[in-house]
Every structure is written in C-alpha cells, then in structure tokens.
Amino acid sequence: MIRVVRLNGEVLYLNYLQIELIECIPETKIRLMNGDYYVVRDSVDSINQQIQSFLKGCLYYENKCK
C-alpha cells in the first residue's frame, strides 16, 4: 500500500498493484485498473519512492527468513 494525500487533505492508502498509470497535469493523477482515479498532492517521484521502498522491504524480509 502507498500513502497519498488528496487535494482536500484526505489521506488515502492505495494498492500499488492496481495502479494503471500516473499523470502529472500539473497535479498528480493516479488511475487504477478499475477506472477510478485520484488527484493527489504527492509527486510522481514520491509515489515511485514509496513503491520502491515497499518492494525493497519485501525482498529484505524474504532474504532474512532464509
């Protein structure tokens, strides 16, 4: 899950596996596989960093268990 903040300040947690595309319009628009979209304050870079951090954490945990 990634944490994003809508323009009105509402915090959302999105499943990154459901993200179809991210646009910079100049706000950031996230469209999900089901067609829903969210306009958020977060930058594309910060969203990418959250996804990378989550995946690294999963890989680190997996390696630690071996």
Q: Given a cut of 90, is residue 32 above it in pLDDT?
A: yes
What pLDDT shows up at residue 56? 87
Q: Given a cut of 90, is residue 38 above it in pLDDT?
A: yes
Domain count, the chain: 1
pTM given for the model: 0.80
Tell me the residue range of the domain where 44 lies. Answer: 2-65
Quote the strand ranges of 1-66, DSSP E: 2-5, 11-14, 19-24, 28-32, 37-40
Neighbours of 4 (CB within 10 A): 20
